[in-house]
Amino acid sequence: MNKRILLIVGGLIGLVIIAAVGWYLVSPLFIDNTVDEAFPFDLPDQAELEAMSGPEMKELETEFMAAVPSEEEVAGFSPETQAQVVERVMVAAAVVMTDKEIDETMMAETANAEWVVAAQGQFEGADSFHLGSGQATIFQQGEARALRFEDFSVTNGPDLHVILTKHPAPTSRAEVGSDYIDLGQLKGNIGNQNYEIPADIDLSEYQSIVIYCMPFHVVFSTATLS
């Protein structure tokens, strides 16, 4: 009798072990393993920042940019994590990113025509955190069009682009929309600079120039055109 009980108990233990091993091997096919990490970058304290040399600040900026997630990675975050990452990146960018100055001369004139002003506007900051100033002017010379910034300055940030939008003064991703024209990456956050506008763009459809952070869809500065 005892032998029979031992056999039954042993058999049950064997079944439990087999079931446990089977579940261990098969369960990954049915159980999601969700990862939703926040932006992994810690700012040095104020004393450490003030003690850093120029090269050290550049190295810190490089480390920061390497840690910034791409637009595709951000799109995969939950809404809560997106909000958290955007906030941390914007705060860190304002502290870590150094100014990049540029000073391009006015576009050369041809013998047959001069550049004429087609539209212009004054840059304004999107909010108290993202500041912007200076003049944006669209010039035309025959079939050629160019956008020029003068006395320009904007808060620096990751992957800033110059875009044309149909909204007169967008402050959000929804107002920027998806039908904007990307004129390329911002050359410098300070200084005079030029951007070519494709000849096939109907400028009458666009009402503003926007400095836009692409990965996080954040408006930094806007110039309403008139």
pTM, two decimal places: 0.79
- 60's tokens: 């810190």
Tens-place pLDDT, residues 77-107? 888 888 888 888 888 888 888 899 999 998 7
Instruction: Name which residue leads in pLDDT, 58 or 136.
Output: 136
* pLDDT of residue 117 exceeding 90: yes
- For residue 158, CA distances in Å to 2, 35, 92, 171, 219 come to 75, 24, 10, 18, 12
Angle in degrees, CA 46, 51, 53, rounded to 5 = 125
Tens-place pLDDT, residues 152-199? 999 999 999 999 999 999 999 999 999 999 999 999 999 999 999 999
Domain 116-224 CATH class label: mainly beta
Cα–Cα distance between 121 and 136 in angstroms, integer?
A: 5
